[in-house]
């Protein structure tokens, strides 16, 4: 049990925001003025049992969650009893099975980037099921989503009594543990990423459950994103704390940027890049393999479900490329070095990088694509290779922005950004030049965690004016496009040809 210290005022005026990401878990404490007063981070072990496979230890995710919660509250110098509510945002699509009696995972969680179920996805495509699944879920058939992962997990554990099994994404696993194993639930934003939820009914789709052989009873109950999900087990923090908002990480970022109406959009440059546009109360369909998804849900005063939808372009490898330059190729020691290295050069030296370390996401959805450097000559240095990786991150965002413009009535005239790679000023300026629009970099880059804090605080009534919360955020820097960037557009067309070389590798 954790003991608070410092401020003895017991007024519940703080929000604890949990952001459980792909590379690590973070906890932030926000005060009643929506300022951060304490934070903590714990990196997660990445398991690569085979090429294209990626797993997490769900027990490690849970223990790291407790550790960062306790550490953030201690650093804030408050008592846990002063926390009004908890908001939870997570890496989406990552999923697992566990024994609901012992609480033990049946095996490691399969991470969203994992490609082991590509053969099953190809089989479904070959059966002509792509259009039906898209119409039901808003998603394309891809190993990215949870359905085929859960199907694989069920096959892998063999003959087991499913009455003793629970399934879920990371939000469901953590919520179940936070509530002392009492609440087995998820929210609509996370459920919409499983390829099992019907986008119109906002419930599990019986046809898809049958297709993927997933028993309904092992799945969590789907609840509104802004909702009283339960309270924490008193043994964890010495007090019961309401959990009042759950969102997928990209939806939390959208909410944190104030993108709550059609035409508003953000891009997160994290492990992958995720461009998300709010589309209002109606499902907007794309002809360019962009995803239709739930932004968030809430019950209105009459008790009816109010659904906000979004259109998304999911690009699997962005920050992960930079991490690979550091840990795999060892061309850099820190991610921050890449900015200076890129700025040393006039151009990319003719080198182009295909960012397909986990296949290609939007708009290609090619699970067999592989990463590649093209255009290498004897004059190429490691600086050229680093710069080509940064440029590729921007190129793939341009590709999706152009497609969202085609699906929208009005073109995007600015792009709000967040995520670790958005700290790279070379990348942000290059992105502005490439798109020909302003890039808005907020002073507070942790927009995902800010969004889930806002959601949790608004849900419990700590705050009552969303627009005021958004309005008081400060913009750190605006990158305006350089008009003399015609050569960048030519380079983009060359990069598109390079991408074609990296596709259909199997």
Same domain for 282 and 243: no
> Are the beta carbons of 104 and 110 closer than 8 angstroms?
no
Report phi then psi at 207, rounded to 5: -65, -40
Tell me, what CATH number does 395's domain have?
3.30.420.40
Mean pLDDT of 120-130: 92
Reported as a pLDDT band with limits 50, 70 and 90, residue 5 is very low
Same domain for 288 and 242: no
Q: β-pairing, 83-90 with 14-20?
A: parallel
Mean pLDDT of 367-393: 92
Task: Give the residue from 200, 222, 250 where a domain finishes.
Answer: 250
Reported as a pLDDT band with limits 50, 70 and 90, residue 360 is confident
CA distances (Å), origin 100, targets 105, 173, 184, 236, 296: 9, 10, 10, 19, 28
**Structure confidence at residue 410 (pLDDT):** 64
The string of pLDDT tens digits covering residues 237-276 is 899 999 999 999 999 999 998 888 887 888 989 888 889 8
Please indicate, yes or no, if residue 387 is contained in any of the structural domains: yes
Mean pLDDT of 152-181: 93
Same domain for 322 and 197: no
Angle at 37 between CA 31 and CA 42, to 5 degrees: 120
DSSP secondary structure of 104-123 = -BSSPEEPTT--TTHHHHHH
Please indicate, yes or no, if residue 448 is contained in any of the structural domains: no
Same domain for 235 and 309: no
Same domain for 265 and 239: no
**Structure confidence at residue 301 (pLDDT):** 83
Same domain for 419 and 289: yes
Please indicate, yes or no, if residue 389 is contained in any of the structural domains: yes
**Structure confidence at residue 9 (pLDDT):** 40
DSSP-assigned beta bridge partners for residue 187: 223
* Cα atoms found within 13 Å of the Cα of residue 269, Cβ hemisphere only: 30
Q: How far is Cα 322 from Cα 343, in angstroms, rounded to an integer?
A: 16
Lowest-confidence pick of 103-117, 215-229, 287-301: 287-301
Mean pLDDT of 163-169: 94
**Structure confidence at residue 7 (pLDDT):** 40
H helical segments located in 356-424: 382-407
Whether 3 has a pLDDT exceeding 70, the answer reads no
Q: Is 372 exposed, middle or buried (0-12, 13-18, 19+ CB in 10 A)?
A: middle
Whether 421 has a pLDDT exceeding 90, the answer reads no
Same domain for 482 and 351: yes
Q: What is the residue range of 341's domain?
A: 258-442+474-506
Reported as a pLDDT band with limits 50, 70 and 90, residue 10 is low
Q: Please state whether the predicted TM-score (pTM) of the whole model is above 0.75.
A: yes
Mean pLDDT of 36-65: 93
Task: Give the residue from 190, 225, 250 where a domain finishes.
Answer: 250
Please indicate, yes or no, if residue 452 is contained in any of the structural domains: no
Token readout for 48 is: 């690569």
**Structure confidence at residue 295 (pLDDT):** 94
Same domain for 282 and 246: no
DSSP secondary structure of 27-73 = EEEE-TTS-EEEEEEEE---B-SSTT--EE-HHHHHHHHHHHHHHHH
Mean pLDDT of 37-66: 93
Same domain for 277 and 243: no
**Cα of 418 vs its chain's centroid, Å:** 12
Token readout for 136 is: 């039901």
**Structure confidence at residue 506 (pLDDT):** 63
Number of domains in the chain: 2
> Are the beta carbons of 280 and 262 closer than 8 angstroms?
yes
Rg (alpha carbons) of the chain, rounded to whole number: 22
Neighbours of 286 (CB within 10 A): 21
Same domain for 245 and 319: no
Reported as a pLDDT band with limits 50, 70 and 90, residue 441 is confident
**Structure confidence at residue 144 (pLDDT):** 87
Q: How far is Cα 214 from Cα 272, in angstroms, rounded to an integer?
A: 28
Please indicate, yes or no, if residue 218 is contained in any of the structural domains: yes
Report phi then psi at 134, rounded to 5: -65, -45
Q: How far is Cα 45 from Cα 102, in angstroms, rounded to an integer?
A: 23
Whether 8 has a pLDDT exceeding 60, the answer reads no
More confident site: 288 or 64: 64
Q: How far is Cα 129 from Cα 140, in angstroms, rounded to an integer?
A: 10
Please indicate, yes or no, if residue 344 is contained in any of the structural domains: yes
Whether 2 has a pLDDT exceeding 50, the answer reads no
Q: How far is Cα 194 from Cα 138, in angstroms, rounded to an integer?
A: 11
**Structure confidence at residue 212 (pLDDT):** 95
Mean pLDDT of 392-408: 87
Please indicate, yes or no, if residue 58 is contained in any of the structural domains: yes
Please indicate, yes or no, if residue 500 is contained in any of the structural domains: yes
Scan for tokens 């990463």, then name that residue: 371
Task: Give the residue from 250, 277, 293 where a domain finishes.
Answer: 250
Same domain for 266 and 240: no
Q: β-pairing, 24-30 with 14-20?
A: antiparallel
Scan for tokens 């182009």, then name that residue: 352
Reported as a pLDDT band with limits 50, 70 and 90, residue 184 is very high
Same domain for 263 and 237: no
């Amino acid at each position: 049990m954790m003991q608070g210290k410092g401020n003895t005022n017991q007024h519940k005026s703080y929000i604890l925001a949990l952001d459980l990401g792909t590379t690590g878990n973070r906890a932030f404490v926000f005060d009643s003025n929506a300022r951060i007063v304490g934070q903590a981070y714990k990196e997660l072990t990445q398991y690569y049992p085979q090429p294209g496979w990626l797993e997490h230890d769900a027990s490690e995710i849970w223990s790291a969650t407790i550790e960062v919660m306790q550490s953030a509250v201690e650093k804030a110098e408050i008592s846990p009893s002063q926390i009004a509510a908890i908001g939870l945002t997570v890496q989406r699509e990552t999923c697992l099975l566990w024994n609901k009696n012992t609480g033990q995972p049946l095996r490691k969680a399969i991470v969203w980037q994992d490609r082991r179920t590509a053969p099953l996805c190809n089989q479904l495509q070959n059966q002509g099921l792509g259009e039906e699944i898209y119409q039901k879920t808003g998603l394309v058939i891809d190993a990215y989503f949870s359905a085929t992962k859960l199907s694989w997990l069920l096959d892998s554990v063999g003959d087991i009594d499913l009455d003793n099994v629970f399934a879920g994404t990371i939000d469901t696993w953590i919520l179940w543990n936070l509530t002392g194993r009492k609440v087995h639930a998820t929210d609509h934003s996370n459920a919409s990423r499983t390829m099992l939820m019907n986008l119109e009914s906002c419930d599990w789709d019986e046809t898809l459950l049958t297709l993927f052989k997933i028993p309904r009873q092992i799945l969590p109950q789907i609840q509104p994103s802004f909702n009283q999900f339960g309270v924490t087990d008193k043994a964890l923090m010495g007090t019961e704390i309401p959990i009042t908002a759950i969102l997928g990480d990209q939806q939390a970022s959208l909410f944190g940027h104030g993108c709550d109406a059609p035409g508003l959009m953000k891009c997160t440059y994290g492990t992958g890049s995720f461009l998300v546009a709010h589309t209002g109360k109606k499902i907007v369909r794309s002809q360019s393999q962009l995803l239709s998804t739930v932004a968030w849900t809430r019950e209105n005063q009459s008790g009816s479900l109010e659904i906000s939808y979004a259109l998304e372009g999911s690009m699997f490898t962005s920050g992960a490329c930079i991490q690979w330059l550091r840990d795999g190729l060892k061309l850099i020691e820190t991610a921050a070095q890449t900015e200076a290295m890129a700025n040393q050069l006039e151009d990319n030296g003719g080198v182009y990088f295909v960012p397909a370390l986990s296949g290609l996401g939007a708009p290609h959805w090619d699970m067999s694509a592989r990463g590649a450097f093209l255009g290498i000559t004897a004059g190429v240095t490691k600086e050229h290779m680093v710069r080509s990786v940064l440029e590729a991150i921007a190129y793939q965002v341009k590709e999706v922005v152009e497609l969202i413009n085609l699906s929208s009535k009005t073109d995007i005239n600015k792009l709000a950004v967040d995520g670790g790679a958005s700290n790279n000023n070379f990348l942000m300026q290059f992105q502005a030049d490439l798109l020909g629009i302003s890039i808005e970099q907020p002073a507070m880059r942790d927009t995902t965690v800010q969004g889930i804090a806002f959601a949790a605080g608004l849900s419990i009534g700590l705050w009552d004016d969303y627009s005021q919360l958004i309005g008081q955020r400060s913009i750190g820097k605006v990158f305006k496009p350089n008009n003399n960037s015609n050569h960048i557009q030519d380079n983009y067309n060359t990069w598109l040809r390079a991408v074609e070389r990296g596709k259909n590798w199997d």
